[in-house]
Amino acid sequence: MVKSNRYQAHNLSVLNDVDYWLLFAKIALLSNDYLGLEEVGREIVKKCNGLPLAVQTLGSLLSTKDNERDWYDILNNEIWEFSEEESEILPALRISYYHLPSYLKRCFVYCSLYPKDYEFDKDEMMLLWMAEGLLQRPKSGSTLEEVGYEYFDDLVSRSFFQPSNNAFVMHDLATFYDEKFYLEPLKSTMYSSMIPDFIICHLSETPIMTLPESLGILYNLQMLKLRYREKLKKLPTNFQNLVNLHHHDTEGTKLEEMPKGMSKLQDLQVLSNYVVGKNEETRVGELGELAHLHGSLRIEKLENVNNSCAASNARMDEKIHLNALYFIWSSFEGEICDSQIEKDVLDKLHPHKN
C-alpha cells in the first residue's frame, strides 16, 4: 500500500473557559499573593474570546504589573470596542503594543521597515539596533549586545515575533504603528547613519578583492560584515583606526593575512576569523589585547607561528566569553613541518577552562 505524503488539516477550536483561565493565570504569574486581581483578570480573559495568542500576549504584559489600577486600565481600554473594520489586528496585541516601553517600541517599529514575512535573524537584528543607536546604555557588568538580546527576547515573549524555522517573523501588528511619532524619525536616522555605523556586504556576483583605504576614516563604524566575499584577499592598511568596531565578520573570504595593529581594536566583541601573518604586527599575539571576544573564532595559517612564546601572547585562556575555537593549519605539498613546534603552539593556545 502506498502511503500518501499529504497531511490532513485540522482546525483547532478555542480553549474552554477553565483551561483558558489557567493558561492566563500561569502566564500572568498570578498566585495567592494576588488574589485581589482575579476578578479583573477573569473579565479581561472574557474579552480575549478563547484565543491562546491573545491570552499569551496580555498575560505576558500583566505579569509585569501588580497594581490593580493597571489591570483595570487594560480591561477598560477603548481598543476592545473597535469594530472589525476599524481593527484588523487582534485587540490584545494592539493593547500590548501601546503598553510597550518606548525603547522596545522603537526597536519594533524599526523592524516594520522590512517586507511582510521577512525572516529575522536574532543576531543580525541585535547588531542593527545597536548600530542605529536604539539600545539603551547597559547596566554595570553587561554589554550592549546583551541589552539587544534582552530586547529581542522581550518582544518574542510578547508575541510580536514568532519562531519560523531557524529565524523569526513579525506578527501582522507590524502594519499598525504610530507613524507620526516613531516611523519617520527612524527612517531619517536609518539613512543618515547607515554608512558610518555599519556596513553589510551580502552573498552577490560582484567580486571584491580589496576594500578602499577610505574605510579607515569611518571611526564610528561598529559592524563590518563581509561574509563569503570569496575574492576578498586584503583589508585596508589603516584598518587599526576603526577603534569603535564591535563586530568584524569575514567568514568565507580568502584573506591572506589580517591587517596590522588588530590589537588596537579592543572593543571587538565578535571576530569570525583571524589569519596569522608573518610580520610582527600581524602575528597571533595581536589577539592578546582582544579580551572581550564572544562566540566563535577561527585562527588560520597557524603554520606562521614558529614558537610557543608567540602563541602564549595570544592569551586565549583569558577569553572567557568564547564558546568555540578552531585552529587551522594550511597544508602545502612538499612543505616541511615540525610536529613538536605545532604541539607546543597548540598547547599555548588552549582556551579558557569553561
Res. 58 pLDDT band, cuts 50 70 90: confident
In total, the chain counts a number of residues equal to 354
CATH of domain 201-348: 3.80.10.10
pLDDT at 69 > cutoff 50:
yes
Backbone phi and psi for residue 88, each to the nearest 5 degrees, phi listed first: -85, -5
Which cell numbers hold the place of 261? Answer: 595593529
Alpha-carbon distance of 47 to 52, in angstroms, equals: 12
What per-residue confidence (pLDDT) applies to 336?
61
- Class in CATH terms, 13-85: mainly alpha
CATH 1.10.10 for domain 100-191, yes or no, is yes
CA distances to 96, 340, 348 from 314, in Å: 48, 19, 9
Measured N-to-C along each axis, helices 122-131 and 102-111 cross at an angle, to the nearest 10 degrees, of: 110
**More confident site: 75 or 331:** 75
pLDDT per residue as tens digits for the range 138-197? 877 778 888 999 999 999 888 888 888 889 988 765 555 544 444 444 444 444 334 446
Res. 229 pLDDT band, cuts 50 70 90: confident
Q: Please, are residues 336 and 310 in contact by the beta-carbon 8 Å criterion?
A: no
Q: Please, are residues 151 and 129 in contact by the beta-carbon 8 Å criterion?
A: yes
What per-residue confidence (pLDDT) applies to 93?
78
Query: What average pLDDT is seen over the chain?
Result: 81
Largest Cα–Cα separation, the chain: 81
Q: What is the DSSP letter of 168?
A: E
Nearest to 286 by CA among 247, 246, 256, 257: 257
Cut 0.95: pTM above it: no
Any idea where the domains of the chain sit in the sequence? 13-85, 100-191, 201-348
Res. 26 pLDDT band, cuts 50 70 90: confident
CA distances to 98, 315, 318 from 292, in Å: 37, 12, 10
pLDDT per residue as tens digits for the range 98-154? 888 889 988 988 888 888 888 999 988 888 888 788 898 887 777 888 899 999 999
